[in-house]
């Protein structure tokens, strides 16, 4: 069957990644709606199928993105009619109790009742959550936060947010974890309406924009800036260094308040690997005095953490519907 994913997918990831051991034969659909990209996959119990990726197209606004998501839901249900539940994780201010995407400076939600809309369109149980908290759920279940009492999953992509693991429980407050809006002293206005936010200097788009302003060279994202910095481009090195220093300032505040044992870094910017983790550790070590230095590491789940988390939300929704 030809689907919108077949026509639009930018790339497809291989099948067969072992995920987790519950509901081994249950088919669910998982969708991750991020600021730059929408990822989706069918999971059969512990096995993740082919991952489909399409652009979010923020220029379409809330109504356009919502219609796009609903079209992709329909395509996936048609592609996998044996699916028993759907999990969807979205960026923005997400009310997990009501199933409503209330607001987002990047995706422009205006109280979109995604859970009810998807359930009405498909008749399937729907698990809905915040994209970063879903990523944190995946990390807690099978990734870098498994067995950790106090930790943080920090996603650095189009925006910056954290899933806060406190005394073994993930914080689920819709306003919680917005580390990207801690003031790090930048002189730049933020899309949230404030200024000085971490997101103005350390997201993928802000790193690319700052490099363009300094060099006049248009780049697609932070990855290019990082590569230029490695090749000796002084302006790229300055922009990358500013991003790392700002991240360390924000994390110093978090560490001082909540004392995480482990900080797992995910999102697109984390693809720099030790090019990010190394200088971030060094900056933190120079700033922390009495605080205990946490273990800093890249997510082993890569940019699929949220999609995996969405599959867990789907399994939970199926179990709840079955009583």
Q: CATH code for 4-135+303-322?
A: 3.30.420.40
Rounded average pLDDT over 68-91 = 95
SS3 assignment, position 3: coil
pLDDT band at 1 (very low <50, low <70, confident <90, very high): very low
Q: At what angle do helices 234-258 and 274-287 cross, to 10 degrees?
A: 60
pLDDT by residue (tens digit) across 182-219?
A: 999 999 999 999 999 999 999 999 999 999 999 999 99
User: Where in the chain are the domains?
Assistant: 4-135+303-322, 147-299
pLDDT band at 46 (very low <50, low <70, confident <90, very high): low
**Which pLDDT belongs to residue 35?**
86
**Which pLDDT belongs to residue 284?**
97
pLDDT band at 113 (very low <50, low <70, confident <90, very high): very high
10, 53 contact by CB (below 8 A)? yes
Highest mean pLDDT among 56-60, 174-178, 237-241: 237-241
**Which pLDDT belongs to residue 223?**
95
Q: What is the Cα–Cα distance from 279 to 204, expressed in whole angstroms?
A: 17
**Which pLDDT belongs to residue 45?**
77
Q: CATH code for 147-299?
A: 3.30.420.40
Q: Tell me if 4-135+303-322 shares its fold with 147-299.
A: yes
Q: What is the mean pLDDT of the chain?
A: 91
Q: Is the pTM of this model over 0.75?
A: yes
Q: What is the Cα–Cα distance from 83 to 175, expressed in whole angstroms?
A: 32
Higher pLDDT, 295 or 15: 295
**Which pLDDT belongs to residue 23?**
64
pLDDT band at 264 (very low <50, low <70, confident <90, very high): very high
Report whether pLDDT(131) > 70: yes
Rounded average pLDDT over 62-86 = 95
Q: What is the Cα–Cα distance from 19 to 298, expressed in whole angstroms?
A: 18
* DSSP assignment string, 145-187: TTT-SSEEEEEESSSEEEEEEETTEE---TTTT-GGGSB---S
pLDDT by residue (tens digit) across 19-37?
A: 455 567 899 999 999 988 9
């Amino acid at each position: 069957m030809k689907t919108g994913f077949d026509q639009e997918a930018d790339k497809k990831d291989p099948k067969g990644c072992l995920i987790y051991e519950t509901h081994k034969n249950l088919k669910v659909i998982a969708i991750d709606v991020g600021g730059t990209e929408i990822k989706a996959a069918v999971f059969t119990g512990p096995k993740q199928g082919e991952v489909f990726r399409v652009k979010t197209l923020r220029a379409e606004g809330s109504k356009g993105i919502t219609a796009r998501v609903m079209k992709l839901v329909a395509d996936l249900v048609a592609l996998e009619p044996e699916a028993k539940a759907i999990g969807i994780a979205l960026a923005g201010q997400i009310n997990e109790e009501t199933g409503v995407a209330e607001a987002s400076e990047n995706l422009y939600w205006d109280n979109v009742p995604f859970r009810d809309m998807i359930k009405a369109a498909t008749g399937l149980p729907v698990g809905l959550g915040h994209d970063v908290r879903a990523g944190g759920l995946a990390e807690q279940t099978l990734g870098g936060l498994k067995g950790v009492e106090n930790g943080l999953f920090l996603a650095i992509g189009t925006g910056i947010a954290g899933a806060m693991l406190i005394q073994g429980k993930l914080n689920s407050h819709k306003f919680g974890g917005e580390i990207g809006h801690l003031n790090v002293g930048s002189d730049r206005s933020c899309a949230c309406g404030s200024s000085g936010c971490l997101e103005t200097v350390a997201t993928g788009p802000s790193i690319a924009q700052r490099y363009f302003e300094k060099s006049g060279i248009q780049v697609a994202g932070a990855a290019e800036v990082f590569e230029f910095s490695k090749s000796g481009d002084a302006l790229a090195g300055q922009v990358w260094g500013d991003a790392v220093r700002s991240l360390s300032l924000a994390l110093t505040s978090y560490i001082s308040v909540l004392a995480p044992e482990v900080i797992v870094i995910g999102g697109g910017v984390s693809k720099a690997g030790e090019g990010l983790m190394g200088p971030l550790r060094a900056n933190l070590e120079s700033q922390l005095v009495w605080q205990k230095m946490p273990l800093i590491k890249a997510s082993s789940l890569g940019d699929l953490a949220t999609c995996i988390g969405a599959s867990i939300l789907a399994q939970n929704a199926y179990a709840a519907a079955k009583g």
